[in-house]
Structure 1
Amino acid sequence: MFKFSKKVIAVILIFLILVSGNISHAEDSYCKNIIIVYDTGYYTDTDVNRIDTLLHAFNTNTIKMSLNEYSDKVKLEDYDYVFILGLNENFLDYGLLKSLIQYKGDICWIGNGIDEFLKYGKYDLKYVGKSKQIVKVNYKEKDYILKKQYVFNIVESLEKNNQTIAYINDGLNSYPYIVKDKNLFYVSNINFNDILFYIFSNELNEIFDMEINSEGKVFLRLDYVNPFTDKENLKKISDYLYSKSIPFMVNLTPAYLNKENEKIITISEDEEMIDTLKYIQDKGGSIILNGYTHQYKNEKTSKEGIEFWDEKDNKPVTEDINLYVKNRILSGLRICIENEIYPIAFQAPNNVINSQGYKELKKYFSTYVGRHQSDDNVHVNNTYPYIIKNSVDFNKLIPENLGFINQDDDFNIDKIEEELNCISLVRGYSSGINFYPDLNIDYLNSVVEKLEAKDIKFMDLKGMKNWIKIDDINIESNNGVIKAKYNENLSNKNKKTDDKLILIISNAVMGIIVGSIVLFIVTFLVFKNIEKNKFFR
């Protein structure tokens, strides 16, 4: 029998922990290939894009394919996971069903069509029918009342070894909501505006057999800051949050267009506003560029409009979206950077922009903070409980999902707390709240105290890695340090100086010309008068 000293045992344990950590890291770094197969119908694009974006909270590479596009040429074995989205009633493709029966990887089936799949007999689940009578869901031994009535597919588990992860209940009986049988995860229904979405989001940790272990965090964001925002209120809010050691974000629109006279006023024209924004940065505020003027064409005054959407006709803007987005971004960034104001993220005004606009933004910004419009045809804002990375639309999306602090709503704090309780079900959640500059400090304090009582950690945007790269402008943040550089020869200030110099020279030349003409006329009149006098002599 070998005997080991305590030191040897300690060394062995440390070695095993390090090896285990490295193995875990290697597993997490593997990018999972996923195919999403879905049926078509009204709002299909919205729901499919929501699921697709959500999956990028994990290290995934996704391909979307409608049932109409699916054929026997598709090799499911090339993918680690298959997600089936039965969004409509008639989800049926026998070729796909047969391929799924042979598939060895994990399947996540959401919604309709499961009845036909279960007829093949591979799984110990029985399809019962549909129900509109479900009133609550039980998850981790806690009941949650559903906000609305939804149609659920009811299945019965026939094998005791099946794992029922969550239950739905109609007041009399309970049925599986999420159930695992062999390599199949079945989700009876999903709604993106209810507790069901957060339960499903959290269970993705189990489906992918990995965990998002980061600590849940909440951000506070000061919204609708522009050249005419009350500067004293901005300083009071900054001082309060700084006194609480709470980092915060600020949505800045650096230019303001008045619809009545079509005049654009920028923060550059108010030295006190520039000083205030610098003060905000020093007090822990991270600046987010919120468009250039926060309105489209001259349809509305700034702050009231939507900059990257034709609100009048409810459709994407008709201009070349790539050029339009880039020009607006450059206009806003130049105003900021030449005044030593450094945005490190972006949000489209009112979170409205189409998919091509997102792709253009993705070229220039590492980070988008806000909600996600997942449909090009309908103005629908979506949110998620995770930070999303490397999706089709974003390098990194930090979601806003707790709404606005509204001091005129007596139940506002209760609503925020209720929503946060739901979101915090999700491991490694990310969440955010917006508020206006005119918010009463005492009311803001009451919200903050509620969050602190829950031991909430506040997100520091400039403590994270962020970058902006567009033409000559380069801004980076990391660990609270912001570095910026740009071509000062292209700045608006230099252009204004050049314009003034040109104006001075032009005025001087004009003065010389006018003076010469006057001198010529006077000389001419004098000589003419002399000649006239000679004639009369």
Structure 2
Amino acid sequence: MKILLKTFIVFLLLAGSLLPYAESRVSAEEDEASVLVLYSSKDKTVDADQRLLDMAIGAFTDSITFKDAETVTVEDIEGVTHLFYYGKVQDTLSSNVREVMDTFSGPVMALGKNVEQLGNGFDFVKSAHCQTITALSMPGQPDKAMTIEPEEVDGIEIDEETEVLVQGENKTGTYPIMVKRENHYYYDSDSLVPPFSMYFSQVLYDVFDIDTPAGNPAYIRLEDIHPLADPEQLMAVAEILKEKEIPYMMAVIPVYTDPETGEEMHFNDAPEVLKALRYMQKNGGSVILHGYTHQYRDSETGEGFEFWDVENDRPIYQGQEEEADLRRLEDFESREAFEEFTEENKAFERDYIEKRVTRGIQELANFGLYPLAFEAPHYTMSQNGYEVVSEYFSTYVGQLQLHDKDWRTMETTPIPSKPSFLHGMQLLPETLGYVKPEDDKAVERMMKQADQYQITDGGMTGGFYHPYLGVERFEDLIEGMEQIPDVQWIDLKEMKNVTTAENVEITSGDGTIETDINQRGLMMTSMDFPVYHIKVAAEKSMWGIAGIGMSGVVLFGAYMTVQRSSRKRMRGEK
């Protein structure tokens, strides 16, 4: 039996492909705009605040460079089409900053503090008293107004020749928030989180001189689908979406790990779930890799933080059974020793992520499921992690963690973006949240969010749903999203996506998925892969044998019936 099994494996490795094969290459169009962002920050490095700006600008160009304002020279603006200054902290700027601002002839936007030091182009902005506003609006556009929680802004004075693009309001009057004079823009706030980000992104259409898009893109994502998912619940939701002809995303976790026993369950252990997923992929669904196990240490799949050590609030720098080494700079004899320690940690994290992402892609591909994008569990991942993932995926779905100090520092952005810290990945932002099991008004809350994100033309309305909640609440969510004016459902298969791992390349576009899989190489990466196909082939063979046997029984029975009838006629019996 063992010899037969080995022979069969070799046959599978040498035979033709078991999965669809095609070659396809996707090349992204380069954006002509080139942006230089000067910044003044507390620690002189790019941090969460600058990355929020990165996310906003990334919707209009993927050529973005950040530079500490103290180090800028006139040579830095060579080839730059748009210049930004972000004053997060009060600072004394060098004369070089003013020289750069006065020399640059393209569109310039300044945010936050230190505007009075930015040269002649910003002389139209004068500091005034701080104001607390409770509403935001855009003059002459009644559909772009909303009430907000009280927020303090620095306050500015402008002359009659200055155009007000966004204004704040309170009981005593209106106050300019975003203003423009010729090709100079000023934003009187350092906040780039919602709801301010919605207005900021809307103004960027003007800054980059790009026509606002028609329609409102939207997506629904079915979350945390693993081998223990209920196939009947999956199919019930899938049938609703198929009937409505709504494309959707499926956040798939290839392995369920029992937190008590450590036992793993794969999709080959759950054939009905796998069957449902294949049906969904064929009928409007697109697979997203949502981690490999969606857990770390003793957490449960779907609950854990696979790419973040939440217990110590830091990236994954040690194995699941290893104790965390929490030494800091002051614990080392020299900075060089600490930096070497840091690089070792980052190398461990890289290896950890690479193994899990590679295995996830390969395992899904082996089952005929083709991930077109990536979503980190709980949206938690280090900056180093994003760089690693970008080597495997061209598309990322969800919210983004903005620095490595606290996983809770995560945010979204109003429109799809290619921020520089995603290293070329396209972000499809999640903006609506999800249907919380304990929240009876969850759908109502999500639809209110959808209304707010339409402040930005082309604002994304993306949310997710756990299929185990059943179809009733799902129908409420879909019906609510269908009411979004001119809703345009995102279909990942229509987008240009590229997913690559060892022996696997997956591309999409124009509604199709194409795969280039080195079947022999894939089978040799893990014995689990050929064993699955052997099992399937054996089952088919057994059914074939059973079918032949049953056919023989039926034929024999028919033959005996005919013989008995013939003998009766010969004896003259009735």
Task: State the TM-score bracket (shorter-chain normalisation).
Answer: 0.7 to 0.9
C-alpha displacement of 1:123: 2.8
In structure 1, distance between residues paired with 2:128 and 2:530: 78
Structure 1 residues 499, 366: closer, same or farther in 2, change over 3 A? closer
Amino acid at match of 1:480: G
Give the SS at the match of 1:149.
strand
1:337 aligns with 2:388: no
Deviates more, 1:72-81 or 1:98-107: 72-81
In structure 2, distance between residues paired with 1:121 and 1:189: 18
1:33 aligns with 2:34: yes
1:466 aligns with 2:485: no
Cα RMSD after superposing both structures: 2.5
Match of 1:177 in 2: 177
In structure 2, distance between residues paired with 1:73 and 1:457: 44
Matched-pair contact (CA < 8 Å) for 2:226–2:256: yes
C-alpha displacement of 1:213: 2.5
In structure 1, distance between residues paired with 2:241 and 2:62: 37
Amino acid at match of 1:58: F
Matched-pair contact (CA < 8 Å) for 1:190–1:196: no
Match 2:506 to one of 468, 475, 478:
475
Structure 1 residues 186, 497: closer, same or farther in 2, change over 3 A? closer
Seq. identity, %: 24
1:495 aligns with 2:527: yes
Amino acid at match of 2:390: K
C-alpha displacement of 1:301: 2.1
Match of 1:218 in 2: 218
Match of 1:383 in 2: 412
Give the SS at the match of 2:317.
coil
Match of 1:449 in 2: 479
Match of 1:512 in 2: none
Match 1:433 to one of 443, 449, 463:
463
Q: How does 1:235-274 map to 2 (within 5 A)?
A: 235-274=235-274
In structure 2, distance between residues paired with 1:129 and 1:262: 61
Give the SS at the match of 2:301.
coil
Match of 1:511 in 2: none
Higher relative contact order (CA 8 A, sep 6+): 2
Give the SS at the match of 1:54.
helix
In structure 2, distance between residues paired with 1:341 and 1:233: 19
User: Please, which runs of 5 or more residues in structure 1 have no aligned partner?
Assistant: 1-27, 501-537
Match of 1:14 in 2: none
In structure 2, distance between residues paired with 1:493 and 1:63: 40
Match of 1:399 in 2: 429
Structure 1 residues 365, 122: closer, same or farther in 2, change over 3 A? closer
Residue deviations 1:485-504 (CA, integer Å, cap 9, x gap) = 3233333897248889xxxx
Structure 1 residues 336, 125: closer, same or farther in 2, change over 3 A? closer
In structure 2, distance between residues paired with 1:98 and 1:128: 25
Structure 1 residues 440, 263: closer, same or farther in 2, change over 3 A? closer
Match of 1:135 in 2: 134
C-alpha displacement of 1:148: 3.8
Structure 1 residues 390, 110: closer, same or farther in 2, change over 3 A? closer
Q: How does 1:236-315 map to 2 (within 5 A)?
A: 236-296=236-296, 298-315=297-314
Matched-pair contact (CA < 8 Å) for 1:106–1:183: yes
C-alpha displacement of 1:259: 2.4
Deviates more, 1:59-68 or 1:251-260: 59-68
In structure 2, distance between residues paired with 1:421 and 1:352: 27
Amino acid at match of 1:101: D
1:76 aligns with 2:77: yes
C-alpha displacement of 1:478: 1.7
In structure 1, distance between residues paired with 2:483 and 2:434: 20
Structure 1 residues 497, 179: closer, same or farther in 2, change over 3 A? closer
In structure 1, distance between residues paired with 2:72 and 2:530: 64
Matched-pair contact (CA < 8 Å) for 1:367–1:395: yes
In structure 2, distance between residues paired with 1:390 and 1:125: 29
Amino acid at match of 1:431: T
1:326 aligns with 2:325: no
Matched-pair contact (CA < 8 Å) for 1:31–1:60: no
Matched-pair contact (CA < 8 Å) for 1:220–1:432: yes
Match of 2:327 in 1: none
Structure 1 residues 251, 498: closer, same or farther in 2, change over 3 A? closer
In structure 2, distance between residues paired with 1:302 and 1:280: 22
Match of 2:188 in 1: 188
In structure 1, distance between residues paired with 2:135 and 2:531: 68
Match of 1:228 in 2: 228
Give the SS at the match of 1:222.
strand
C-alpha displacement of 1:347: 0.8
Matched-pair contact (CA < 8 Å) for 1:335–1:492: no
Residue deviations 1:21-53 (CA, integer Å, cap 9, x gap) = xxxxxxx97522211111122796001012113
In structure 1, distance between residues paired with 2:68 and 2:413: 23
In structure 2, distance between residues paired with 1:446 and 1:499: 43
C-alpha displacement of 1:386: 1.3
Residue deviations 1:347-381 (CA, integer Å, cap 9, x gap) = 11111111111111111111111111121222122
In structure 2, distance between residues paired with 1:317 and 1:231: 33
Match of 2:24 in 1: none
Structure 1 residues 280, 78: closer, same or farther in 2, change over 3 A? closer
Give the SS at the match of 2:130.
strand
TM-score (normalizing by structure 2): 0.76
Matched-pair contact (CA < 8 Å) for 1:308–1:349: yes
Match 1:46 to one of 14, 39, 48:
48
C-alpha displacement of 1:484: 2.0
In structure 2, distance between residues paired with 1:476 and 1:345: 10
Match of 1:103 in 2: 104
C-alpha displacement of 1:72: 4.0
Structure 1 residues 230, 396: closer, same or farther in 2, change over 3 A? same
Matched-pair contact (CA < 8 Å) for 1:77–1:104: no
Amino acid at match of 2:420: S
C-alpha displacement of 1:117: 4.0
Structure 1 residues 390, 243: closer, same or farther in 2, change over 3 A? same
Matched-pair contact (CA < 8 Å) for 2:256–2:265: yes
Give the SS at the match of 2:372.
strand
Matched-pair contact (CA < 8 Å) for 1:231–1:273: yes
Give the SS at the match of 1:134.
strand
Q: How does 1:113-132 map to 2 (within 5 A)?
A: 113-117=114-118, 123-131=123-131
Structure 1 residues 122, 195: closer, same or farther in 2, change over 3 A? closer
In structure 1, distance between residues paired with 2:411 and 2:490: 21
Matched-pair contact (CA < 8 Å) for 1:101–1:122: no
Amino acid at match of 2:228: F
In structure 1, distance between residues paired with 2:494 and 2:193: 30
Number of equivalences = 467
TM-score (normalizing by structure 1): 0.81
Match of 2:394 in 1: 366
